[in-house]
Amino acid sequence: RGSSGKSVEFEHLTLTVTFPGSNPATPRGAQPQAAKFNYYIGDDESRWASNVPSFGAIIYENLYDGVDLTIAGNDDGVLKYEFHVAPGADWNQIRIAYDGIDSLCVDESGDLRIATSFGTLMDSAPLVWQEDVESRLSGGTAVTGGTAVPAVHLDGGWAADDGRDARATSDTIPARFELVDDATYRFALDDPVDPTRELIIDPDVEWMVYLGGSGSEDADGLAIAPNGDVLVSGTTSSFDFEHRIGPHYGPDDTFILRMLPTGEVLWMSYVGGELDDYGQALAVDSAGRALVVGFTWSRTFARAINTYRGGSWDGFLAVVSPGGQIEWSAFVGGSASDSANAVAVDQRDRIWIAGSTGSPNLESRLNEHHGGDTDAFVSVLSPSGQTDWSIYLGGSASETVRAITLDSQSGAVLTGSTGSVDFEHRVNSYFGGITDGFLTSVSSQGVAGSMSYLGGSGRDAGSGVALPPAGGVRIGGWTDSPDFTGHVNEFGGGRNDAFLTSIESGGELAWTIYLGGGGDDWSNGIATDCRGRTIVAGGADSWNFRGRWNNRLGGAWDGFVAIVGPDARQEWMKFIGGKNQDDAKRPILAADEVIYTVGVTSSPAFRGRVNEFHGGSYDAFLTRLGPEPMVSATTSCPSGGAATIQWSRARPEGRVVLLYAREQALLRIPDGIYCAGTLLMLGTDHLQLVFAGTSDPNGSGSLNINAGPGACGGYLQLLDLSTCATSNVARIE
């Protein structure tokens, strides 16, 4: 009965899931929770129950011979399941059957569609991987002062915990749903399975959000506001872009949108004029205003403070308030065609714009156009839009700047591509091919610094530049040169590889690493973190991309995000996307060590999506990759004694190990053992395992230990065995 006292009828549907051919299996609780429950129902006390425990997961052991089924809730409140197949067991036994449904089908994205009389349910395409669980501890004791814990000798073995969900460093296997009949399905694996290793079948995915409307979108700009909000810019042809607050101007407009760190869109604004306008890059000033640059065919750009300069298209700058209103805009260029491709803001809120120009008459120019179809250029504008100065960069052929960053002296470091063998201020010689990448600098007063060619005998182009905290420069881009100067590994094949080059503080080339495989791969942007590692984002169609954590997701190419350590070792790489084309751009590291990246996708079933594809040929997208763990220690050195060690931001209820060393250094876990390739910031001197266990449901944990005096001055680092992510290094002092 309802609240009114009247009878109420409900329709209901019961779905039953069974496992044909399975063994009798009694579920047992796992991941015990703090909550207890009491049931005092009716007057029959024999049916009462009190202090009933609760669990975060249940396990059906040996559901099939050698196969366990685990069912658990994830952080998003979704009930998910995994099959754990013991080494040597036959995964082909697994069958899942539904009763009470209308039909099953597998859609073009590989997702399972479960049709019922109430609507359609969806199960995302399966993720299948194998993990190493070999444990080889040897010798030594840890610093607990209470229990003797074996130390870890990396030259002879690694302490592999018996934790699961280690997809991060495990070998993934291409897999799909396969229908047995209208109500039953199984898993089909497309690559061989190593019978000596555990196999895990997990249909869960990660997080992303589509941005757009019924037309097509592409995102090229990404920035973090002073308050932590996320700003994204790009180009759209949609008149119905979701969350819009202003009018659409022309066939293609630039868009700018602002989001909370949780992914909720606050607003979206169109920027442009009566013709086509293309957003290329984005920065944020100290007041939280968005500064968007690009190029435009429009002669009547919204709120322009000057007039169209000439040529087929002009560069532009648009300044958008924190509330989404365009404050003013300016055309950037001269009498020929110009494009603003990159933007940065210095400590005085001066706006640095860089790109390519065919115009010999840039406003406030300090030198003359060098020749060729285009020169690279840099223009610096005041916070109110007046041009302080402009400078041409290049030689007798064509150049363009693709990325800019500012140094501690408010000068600029730039990269891009050039066809000029006589680039001004060069310190080396042109390498060959149609284009070379280049690295150069410009002072805060507009004085060009030395310029270096980057590349080999083929075509090369720089697309991203970043400054590590310890000094030097990192440059990312793409190349088809198998002899790229300074390379420490071999060209992957195909037409292109992504590359990352490190230049030392004194200007010497330290190393270049190719990123890719046998197909075409490219980088669209880079960023660095506080440990000197480089985040690379781009596109790839190489199924055998080196260092991959997962397999290709489909389409002509996938997006990717990779991490390269300061010692030129690739730590990991992950494909992102769906069954169609996906391309990742402009990664950025937020204050909480979250990695964001934007891009373009035509995949209506992008892995980890939290909303639906908007339509048209392409949507823009934003992805968020979670932060790495943090560890802290509160001790009573130098005498030693009671110590508290805390960690956070690890995988919820995931397995972790805490390591101790007497010194800091760069130490990579060797190949063939658990978390192989992961870079530790600990030395080999007295490297010891302090703790192996599980994080709480929030990914946190705390230890109270008794540290001897010998532990003082040493270092601690946490390794998350679920993702192989490492924490910061905490000193015991």
Q: How far is CA 345 from CA 281, 405, 552, 724, in A?
A: 12, 9, 37, 36
**Could you tell me whether strands 112-116 and 103-106 are parallel, antiparallel, or unpaired per DSSP bridges?**
antiparallel
Whole-angstrom distance, CA of residue 152 vs CA of residue 660: 10
Cβ partners under 8 Å of residue 672, min gap 6: none
In angstroms, the CA 352 to CA 346 distance is 8
> Is the peptide bond between 247 and the residue preceding it cis, with omega within 30 degrees of 0?
no
CA separation (Å) from 567 to 105, 462, 468, 531, 532?
48, 20, 12, 11, 9
DSSP of 164-179: ---TTTSEEE-EEEEE
d(CA 236, CA 338): 21
Mean pLDDT of successive 10-residue stretches along the chain, which has 733 residues: 61 89 87 82 85 87 87 67 81 89 81 83 77 33 27 24 32 80 85 69 57 96 93 97 93 95 90 97 95 97 96 97 96 97 95 98 96 96 96 97 92 97 97 97 96 97 95 97 96 94 93 95 93 92 81 85 88 84 92 84 86 92 80 74 83 86 80 69 81 87 80 86 79 81
Q: The tokens of 181 are what?
A: 């009949």
Burial of 685 (0-12, 13-18, 19+ CB in 10 A): exposed
Phi, psi of 47 (to 5 degrees): -100, 5
Count CB neighbours of 733 within 10 A. Answer: 11
What is the predicted pLDDT for the residue at 75?
53
Looking at the DSSP bridge assignments, the partners of residue 466 are 474
Calculate the alpha carbon distances from 719 to 147, 630, 633, 688 in Å: 20, 10, 15, 13
Of 273, 369, 403, 256, the residue nearest 330 (C-alpha): 273
Q: Is 199 helix (H, G, I), strand (E, B) or coil?
A: strand
**Closest of 573, 561, 565 to residue 623, by C-alpha:** 561
Cβ contact 488:510 at 8 Å: no
Whole-angstrom distance, CA of residue 485 vs CA of residue 456: 6
Between CA 221 and CA 269 the distance in angstroms is 14
Specify which residues 647 forms β-bridges with. Answer: 631, 701
Cβ contacts of 585 within 8 Å, gap of 6 or more: 219, 220, 222, 524, 525, 537, 538, 597, 598, 599, 600
Element (DSSP H or E) covering residue 399: strand 399-406
Q: Enter the tokens of residue 353.
A: 């714009």
> Do 29 and 71 contact (CB within 8 A), yes or no?
no
* pLDDT value for 680: 80
| C-alpha 595, offset from chain centre | 5
Cα–Cα distance, 560 to 650 (Å, whole number): 22
Q: How many helices (H) and strands (E) does the chain have?
A: 0, 51
Show the tokens assigned to 225: 């506001």
Torsion of CA 324, 328, 334, 340, to 10 degrees: -20
DSSP 132: -
Length of the chain: 733
Give me the pLDDT at residue 143, please.
29
Angle subtended at Cα 469 by Cα 463 and Cα 472, rounded to the nearest 5 degrees: 55
The DSSP secondary structure of 585-653, one letter per residue, reads EEEEE-TTS-EEEEEEE--TT-TTBSS---SSS-EEEEEEEPPPPEEEEE--TTT-EEEEEEEESS-TT
Burial group, residue 432, by CB count within 10 angstroms (0-12, 13-18, 19+): middle
Distance, CA of 230 to CA of 508 (rounded, Å): 36
Q: Which residue's structure tokens are 């002669």?
A: 299
Q: What angle do CA 555, 556, 559 make, to 5 degrees?
A: 80
Contacts of 402 (CB under 8 A, 6+ apart): 341, 342, 415, 416, 417, 461, 462, 463, 464, 477
User: How far apart are alpha carbons 322 and 591 in whole angstroms?
Assistant: 19
The tokens describing 41, both together, are 């129902």
CB 462 within 8 A of CB 417: yes
Task: Report the amino acid identity of residue 262.
Answer: T
Whether the CB-CB separation of 194 and 595 falls below 8 Å is answered with no
